[in-house]
Amino acid sequence: MKKITSYENKKILVLGLALSGVNAAKLLHELGALVTVNDYKSFEENPEAQELLESGIRVVTGGHPVDLLDEDFELVVKNPGIMYNNPIVKRAIEKGIPVITEVELAYEVSESTLIGITGTNGKTTTTTMIADILNQNRIKGHAYVAGNIGMPASLVAQTTTPNDEIVIELSSFQLMGITKLRPSIAVITNIFEAHIDYHGTREEYVAAKWRITENQTADDYLILNWDQPELRELAKSSKAQIIPFSRKEVLENGAYVKEGKIYYRNECIMEKTAILVPGEHNVENALAAIAVAKLMGQSNENIAELLTTFTGVKHRTQFVTDYQKRKFYNDSKATNILATENALKGFSNPVILLAGGLDRGNGFDELIPSLKNVKALIVFGETASKLEEVGRKAGVKEIRVVQNVEAAVPVAYDLSDEDTVILLSPACASWDQYRSFEVRGDAYIKAIQQLIAELKEQEE
């Protein structure tokens, strides 16, 4: 870790805890800052605040009092989830106090190569693919995953060395709070409309994503999805070297698909069908990861070896198991229609789709074209009736309404035949029945394991 002195004796407010806030506070304290932590939860219900207080860090809990800013703080480090219309954040901006997120701190102290990944969909899978490829058969150093996935970047950056890389997933929320952060390699997987409730407009959301390249220079690289005209146009404003990737077009200066094979700069890397995780969206993720790997000097053999065994990130079109020639996939992270559409496009076999969850007031007619390969639809949660109606419109022959994900698994198996894909891809958030999409996905996996155990007992 770089021993920087720019924060010594500076009054800094860390706003909001969770993992990123706790580690930002600890890092700033170690760097000699005069840290105050402010969290909405009460002190009695706040073990993180209690821990920080024991470390000698001042804590203010039970709300976000605006008058706290009367103490002449020089910097605010904000939890990414706290919106900019929060009164204390608004007041800080009005007073001219810089507001950053903890990824900025990570960049300032890191001695490692920073590879940043953002986009609307595919960030986590691409981030994981990149780190796994860079670590394949590696002898010296390590690629660490951080940021919006896994460990806070400010924690990882404290222990990595110049021989390592930090592969950091960056959300639009995090990117809004940077000033100097400069990835040596940046990746934008794609851009669609999202998080308008946070950003206000699509234009502001896109602008936040584009900040990943704002500090890059001609010595850096920006890897972009060339199948999106919007990103092609935006590329003109980046100072970095542009490395495009495309499923549709041959790109001699990038990664692309041609006649069923994947190439990087006219060099054949592998067969497209050898990528283990299903779906054209995962081909795009792989193209982006291959571009990074080649820039980092990884061999074609190591790239192909990893991508032919990569089973996916948990809860993101994750292959769970194969039983009696039925393949189970967990795509609990599919909390919107687009994600479920992408998942369904990845399968040519008949699919039994498990879907449903929190009702946000939207309809699901957009799903109809993607349901042509769905032989059965099992729905649950607040949106069950809406999805049932859409299934009927799409002509799905078997539609069942069940209580939850756990109840859906045995029903799906009963309706399945050999070579059927049983896919949890809810197209909805989980919060009507489950605390998070991870909890929902874990419940699905556990139900599969229980079902298979029961079926094996019956066979004995």
CATH number for the domain formed by residue range(s) 11-100: 3.40.50.720
- Predicted TM-score (pTM) of the model is 0.84
Query: pLDDT band at 193, cuts 50/70/90?
Result: confident
Does 141 score more than 80 pLDDT?
yes
- What is the pLDDT, as a whole number, of residue 64? 93
Mean pLDDT (the chain, rounded): 95
Q: What is the mean pLDDT of residues 254-264?
A: 97
Topology of the domain comprising 103-307? UDP-N-acetylmuramoyl-L-alanine:D-glutamate ligase (3.40.1190)
Query: pLDDT band at 195, cuts 50/70/90?
Result: confident
Q: What is the mean pLDDT of residues 102-113?
A: 97
**Sequence spans of domains, the chain:** 11-100, 103-307, 318-459
pLDDT tens readout for residues 30-78: 999 999 999 999 999 999 999 999 999 999 999 999 999 999 999 999 9
Strands 318-323 and 267-271 turn out to be unpaired
Tell me the C-alpha to C-alpha distance, in Å, between residue 376 and each of 11, 298, 326, 387, 423.
59, 43, 14, 12, 11
Kindly give, in sequence order, each residue whose CB lies less than 8 Å from that of residue 221, ignoring residues fewer than 6 positions away: 184, 185, 186, 240, 241, 242, 243, 295
Q: What percent of the chain has pLDDT over 90?
A: 90
* Cα–Cα distance, 172 to 198 (Å, whole number): 10
> Would you say the CATH fold of 318-459 matches that of 103-307?
no
* Cα–Cα distance, 424 to 408 (Å, whole number): 9
Angle formed at CA 376 by CA 391 and CA 445, multiple of 5 degrees: 115
CATH number for the domain formed by residue range(s) 318-459: 3.90.190.20
Query: pLDDT band at 272, cuts 50/70/90?
Result: very high
Smallest Cα–Cα separation from 292: which of 134, 181, 107, 124? 134
Kindly give, in sequence order, each residue whose CB lies less than 8 Å from that of residue 328, ignoring residues fewer than 6 positions away: 319, 320, 321, 322, 422, 423, 448
pLDDT tens readout for residues 74-100: 999 999 989 999 999 999 999 999 999
Poorest-pLDDT segment among 129-133, 170-174, 309-313: 309-313
Does 460 score more than 90 pLDDT?
no
- What is the pLDDT, as a whole number, of residue 150? 75
* Cα–Cα distance, 405 to 417 (Å, whole number): 20
